[in-house]
């Protein structure tokens, strides 16, 4: 009797849940096109996202092709309005009083870094940005040029074997950026020991962050339970926290002012900092979260762009030759006449115009930032589409990067750095936003830009040539960002 009653109640609950979701999906209508959502999954299953058949940026391109420049995409139980034109982006990102960054930008990230600047809003975000923004300004980053150069040399010497086909360059690029972050943030060499516990812990931590972000279509309490009772994650998180706290204490006791990230943040330490009254600085817990957020952001984006640069160079060998020609013209290339590598300064980097164009083209084509999200703080209208307070919109950043209506110099899907010397030099200001835009643009973009351009120059300066192979198929592997899925290039080191 009890079993029958329990079964009947369970069936009733399931029927009510089905009716609830059915009504939810049926009644919400913004008169925009899009695929019909599936119960519970929304468009994540029928679009190919959950089955990993397509990356998210491929899905947004496919939807734009089928439905136009504005459409609806259901991310699990939530409908999002997607906008794909630079004019849309300009309207949304420029109105900071109507649109604020949504927690969906990096979903579930608040579970691992609840005080990270990317998940904050309002007064707390303003307090954090006053501390974080000066830390990542170009003037500060220039101080680390020699450090980044040394890391690039280590990457070349240890990872790039002459006349050898490399299939693990995505991992190698991640290791390179991790080493840069370790030295800039902590003065800590993560490459000193390939089996370093902190290095392994950080790599595993990134994997868990990726998992919880991909679980964002599920109710958040499921992700909370997953992390809370995952002993390996808890151990990794504790190890990283303990190391960071130890380095902070050492910095506080250091009489000589360092140039690293932690030194800059330690000076802002204020345990009385709050948002209820005028105050500044960060508490210790907030500072630790900001350090971890900065490490994660820098680790993923630059390594992704570097991996795509290597892939594109193997497909477009003439670009490599033109970079080396420019370096030769500036006496920065090792030749029979120049037997040493001149120190790379900010002035020398700024003088390399074609290298600048290559860096821009990598960031334009590489899907490092597929999209960003904003939440409406009040009712508004964008291009005749009514948006209600509390509704989240998706901005297709990668869509505008290759829109033929805004890129005129050569096919927009082709790797053509020269476009930035010709018709596309003065492209629409919102047709290319690799680091987002508006008041919530990436605060670390100066470091990412400098790091990417410098390593590109150093690779070519050292005579590295990347050659295509049959196995070098590209494709997309979605993690926190989108890496090339199948990369297999032959490395050749030019002889003097």
Domain ranges of the chain: 84-493
Say whether 442 counts as a known binding-site residue: yes
Whether the per-residue pLDDT at 298 is higher than 50: the answer is: yes
Note the pLDDT of residue 11: 64
Transcribe 391-408 into DSSP letters. -EEEE-HHHHHT-TTT--
Whether the per-residue pLDDT at 335 is higher than 90: the answer is: no
- What is the SS3 assignment for 79? strand
Q: Is 308 within 8 Å of 316 (Cβ atoms)?
A: no
Note the pLDDT of residue 25: 47
- Report in angstroms the alpha-carbon separations of 379 from 70, 204, 387: 18, 42, 6
Transcribe 113-125 into DSSP letters. -TT-GGG--HHHH
Note the pLDDT of residue 18: 56
Rounded CA-CA distance 470/161 in Å is 19
Rounded CA-CA distance 474/488 in Å is 9
Rounded CA-CA distance 323/334 in Å is 13
User: Tens digits of per-residue pLDDT, 425-460?
Assistant: 999 999 999 888 888 888 888 888 999 999 999 999
Q: What is the overall mean pLDDT for the chain?
A: 85
Rounded CA-CA distance 349/453 in Å is 8
Both structure tokens of 296: 């994660």
Q: Which residues pair with 464 in a beta bridge?
A: 493
Q: Which fold has domain 84-493?
A: Cytochrome p450 (1.10.630)
Rounded CA-CA distance 466/236 in Å is 36
- 317-329 vs 353-365: helix axis angle to the nearest 10? 150
Transcribe 99-145 into DSSP letters. EEE-GGGSTTGGGT-TT-GGG--HHHHHHHHHHHHHHTSHHHHGGGH
pLDDT bin (cut points 50, 70, 90) of residue 26 is very low
Whether the per-residue pLDDT at 19 is higher than 60: the answer is: no
- What is the SS3 assignment for 483? strand
pLDDT bin (cut points 50, 70, 90) of residue 15 is low
Instruction: Please return the burial class of 175, using the count of CB atoms within 10 Å of its CB with bins 0-12, 13-18 and 19+.
Output: buried
Whether the per-residue pLDDT at 272 is higher than 50: the answer is: yes
Backbone region of residue 85 per phi and psi (left: phi > 0; alpha: psi in -120 to 50; beta: other values): beta
Q: Is 266 within 8 Å of 186 (Cβ atoms)?
A: no
> Residue holding tokens 């959502």?
37
Identify the CA nearest to 129 among candidates 470, 443, 489, 446: 443
User: Tens digits of per-residue pLDDT, 237-268?
Assistant: 888 888 778 777 877 777 666 667 777 788 88
Rounded CA-CA distance 69/86 in Å is 10
Sign, CA dihedral 349-352-357-361, equals negative
Highest mean pLDDT (candidates 225-234, 269-278, 327-336): 225-234
Q: How large is the average pLDDT for residues 345-368?
A: 93
Q: How large is the average pLDDT for residues 398-414?
A: 90
Q: Is 86 within 8 Å of 431 (Cβ atoms)?
A: yes
Rounded CA-CA distance 131/137 in Å is 11
User: Tens digits of per-residue pLDDT, 102-140?
Assistant: 887 788 889 988 998 988 888 889 889 888 888 888 888
Four-CA torsion 101, 105, 111, 113, nearest 10 degrees: -70
Rounded CA-CA distance 427/76 in Å is 36
């Amino acid at each position: 009797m009890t079993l029958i009653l329990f079964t009947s109640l369970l069936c009733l609950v399931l029927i009510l849940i089905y009716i609830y979701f059915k009504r939810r999906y049926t009644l919400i209508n913004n008169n925009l096109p899009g695929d019909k959502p599936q119960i519970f999954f929304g468009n994540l299953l029928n679009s190919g996202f959950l089955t990993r058949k397509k990356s998210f940026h491929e899905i947004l391109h496919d939807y734009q092709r089928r439905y136009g420049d504005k459409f609806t995409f259901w991310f699990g139980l939530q409908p999002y309005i997607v906008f794909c034109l630079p004019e849309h982006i300009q309207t949304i990102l420029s109105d900071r009083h109507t649109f604020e960054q949504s927690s969906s930008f990096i979903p579930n990230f608040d579970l691992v870094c609840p005080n990270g600047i990317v998940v904050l809003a309002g007064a707390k975000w303003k307090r954090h940005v006053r501390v974080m923004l000066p830390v990542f300004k170009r003037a500060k980053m220039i101080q680390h040029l020699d450090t980044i150069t040394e890391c690039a040399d280590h990457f070349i010497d240890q990872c790039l074997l002459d006349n050898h086909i490399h299939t693990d360059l995505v991992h190698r690029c991640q290791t390179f950026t991790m080493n840069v972050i370790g030295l800039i943030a902590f003065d800590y060499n993560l490459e000193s020991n390939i089996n370093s516990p902190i290095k392994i812990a950080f790599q595993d931590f990134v994997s868990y962050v990726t998992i919880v972000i991909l679980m964002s279509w599920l109710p958040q309490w499921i992700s909370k339970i997953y992390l809370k009772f995952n002993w390996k994650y808890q151990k990794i998180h504790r190890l990283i926290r303990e190391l960071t706290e130890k380095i902070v204490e050492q910095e506080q006791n250091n009489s000589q002012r360092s140039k690293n990230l932690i030194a800059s943040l330690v000076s802002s330490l204020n345990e009385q900092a709050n948002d209820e009254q005028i105050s500044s600085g960060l508490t210790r817990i907030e500072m630790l979260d900001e350090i971890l957020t900065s490490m994660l952001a820098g680790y993923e984006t630059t390594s992704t762009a570097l991996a795509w640069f290597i892939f594109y160079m193997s497909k477009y060998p003439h670009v490599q030759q033109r970079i080396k020609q420019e370096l030769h013209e500036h006496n920065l290339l090792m030749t029979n006449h120049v037997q040493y590598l001149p120190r790379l300064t900010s002035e020398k980097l700024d003088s390399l115009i074609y290298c600048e164009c290559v860096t821009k083209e990598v960031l334009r084509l590489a899907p490092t930032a597929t999209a960003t999200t904003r939440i409406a703080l009040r009712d508004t209208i964008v291009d005749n589409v009514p948006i209600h307070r509390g509704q989240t919109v998706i901005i297709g950043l990668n869509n505008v990067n290759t829109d033929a209506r805004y890129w005129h110099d050569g096919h927009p899907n082709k790797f053509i750095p020269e476009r930035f010397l010709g018709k596309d030099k003065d492209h629409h200001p919102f047709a290319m936003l690799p680091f987002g835009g508006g008041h919530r643009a990436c605060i670390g973009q100066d470091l990412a830009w400098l790091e990417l351009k410098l390593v590109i120059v150093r690779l070519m300066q050292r005579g590295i040539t990347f050659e295509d192979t049959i196995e070098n198929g590209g494709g997309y592997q979605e993690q926190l960002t989108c890496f090339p899925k199948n990369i297999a290039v032959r490395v050749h080191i030019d002889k003097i």
